[in-house]
Amino acid sequence: MLEPMMYEGGVFKHNLVEELVEDLGGYILQKNIMQTEVVLIMLVPIKDTRLVEDMTKKLLGELTRAPLSGTEIAVVAPTLAYHHLPHPDCDIAEFLRRKGAKTNMVGLARGVGARTCQISAHERELINEHDVAVYVFGNFKHCITESKPKLFEGIDIPIVVTGAPEIDTEDIPNADVYVGNLGRIAHRLRKGEEMFAMDEVVYVVGKIFDVEREEIGKDPLSVMPPRVKKEIENQVPAINEVLSPLPITLRLKGLKVKLDFDEFHEQISEVSFVEGLKLKDIADIRRSKMKNFILVDIKTKSETGFLI
């Protein structure tokens, strides 16, 4: 069992943490170096977290649990106009990222208006490539309960909705959870109740992942996504030249490889494991709607018949 954790500390000697985690059989998911600070998002074997904690203390860093690590979340706004950005959409995305998630902002082309809002097939498929969709809506109950649910049509992943009024989740068709007290805000979210509301968003998203992970536990994936990530990094050298912030993004049931599909999908499907398998045997490799990237969907044990 691996525990998602986040290390924050100085650049000096941070490689000791990386090495320790890898020696313990854990994985480094993301490494961000910001001048003299470094943030590591990693998966640590749960029984060895103590060792990482000790190392962190020695390096005067900080170790926190990052429950959203290894997930990709879509933050969906009706459009990318100044009515929604940078507050509150970016603030909500920021809060999700702080807990380890990778967020993508999706601005719909025609998501505005009550009667006139719509979502296109392309946008729908793009959102469905994520683990959870967080829809950031506005101030009026009528709008959220009556007009906007049109935008959830065809979305197969769990949907979290935010807005200003207090609404029961049952009143919003197709939404999984509703979080109030946000809504359309034109200033930076830093007041108590706004911060609580954003914490609530993080909490409900975390809960959704707990349930999802439990479901996955019943029929586990043939291979864990972080292991595939490591093998791709070792066997496909081109990935080291990708400048995107997270060249291989983990999702709950697979990964997104930020290489051109047409050029690299064969190389990716040929990635091999010491057990004598190739990635194409245990995963579906398809084209992503996002910039022609490669999506890897790992098959479950019930499909392949084995676990590695």
d(CA 154, CA 139) in angstroms, rounded, equals 25
Binding segment (CB under 8 A) for another protein, from list 39-47, 76-84, 281-289, 297-305: 76-84
By CB under 8 A, tell whether 79 contacts another protein.
yes
Q: Which residue, 172 or 252, has its beta carbon nearer to another protein?
A: 172
Q: In this chain, which of 116, 169, 174, 234 binds another protein, going by CB under 8 A? A: 116
C-alpha 196/C-alpha 191 separation (Å) is 9
The correct pick among 124, 141, 207, 280 for binding another protein (CB under 8 A) is 141
Q: Judged by CB under 8 A, does residue 244 bind another protein?
A: no
For residues 16 and 22, what is the distance between their CA atoms, to the nearest angstrom? 10
Kindly state whether residue 78 participates in binding another protein, applying the rule CB under 8 A. Answer: yes
* Nearest residue (CB) to another protein, 67 versus 138: 138
Least distance in angstroms from the C-beta of 144 to another protein: 10
Which structure tokens are listed for 146? 């009556």
Residue number, 141 or 230, with CB nearest to another protein: 141
If DSSP codes are grouped into helix, strand and coil, which group holds residue 284?
strand
CB 120, min distance to another protein, A: 16
143 binds another protein (CB under 8 A): yes
> 10 Å Cβ neighbour count for 65?
14
DSSP letter at 110 equals: S
Nearest approach in angstroms of CB 63 to another protein is 37
Under the criterion CB under 8 A, does residue 291 sit at the interface with another protein? no
Q: How far apart are the first and last CA of the chain?
A: 14
**Closer by beta carbon to another protein, 9 or else 183:** 183
User: Closest distance between another protein and the C-beta of residue 117, in Å?
Assistant: 7
Element containing residue 235 per DSSP (H, E)? helix 225-235
Q: Between helices 14-23 and 49-58, what is the axis angle to 10°?
A: 170
Burial class (CB in 10 A: 0-12, 13-18, 19+), 84: buried
CB of 116 to another protein, least distance (A): 5
Q: Which residue in the set 115, 190, 218, 291 belongs to the binding site for another protein (CB under 8 A)?
A: 115
Question: How many Cα neighbours within 13 Å face the side chain of 252?
Answer: 23
Task: Lay out the site mask for another protein across 148-187 (x = CB under 8 A, - = otherwise).
Answer: ----------------xxx----------------xxxxx
Residue 16 lies near another protein (rule: CB under 8 A) = no
Q: Does residue 61 belong to the site contacting another protein (CB under 8 A)?
A: no
Which stretch in 40-48, 136-144, 253-261, 286-294 sits in contact with another protein by CB under 8 A? Answer: 136-144
DSSP characters for 31-94? EEEETTEEEEEEEEEGGGHHHHHHHHHHTT-EEEE-TTTT-EEEEEES-SSTTTTTTTHHHHHH
Judged by the rule CB under 8 A, the positions of this chain that interact with another protein are 78-79, 81-84, 112-117, 138-143, 147, 164-166, 183-187
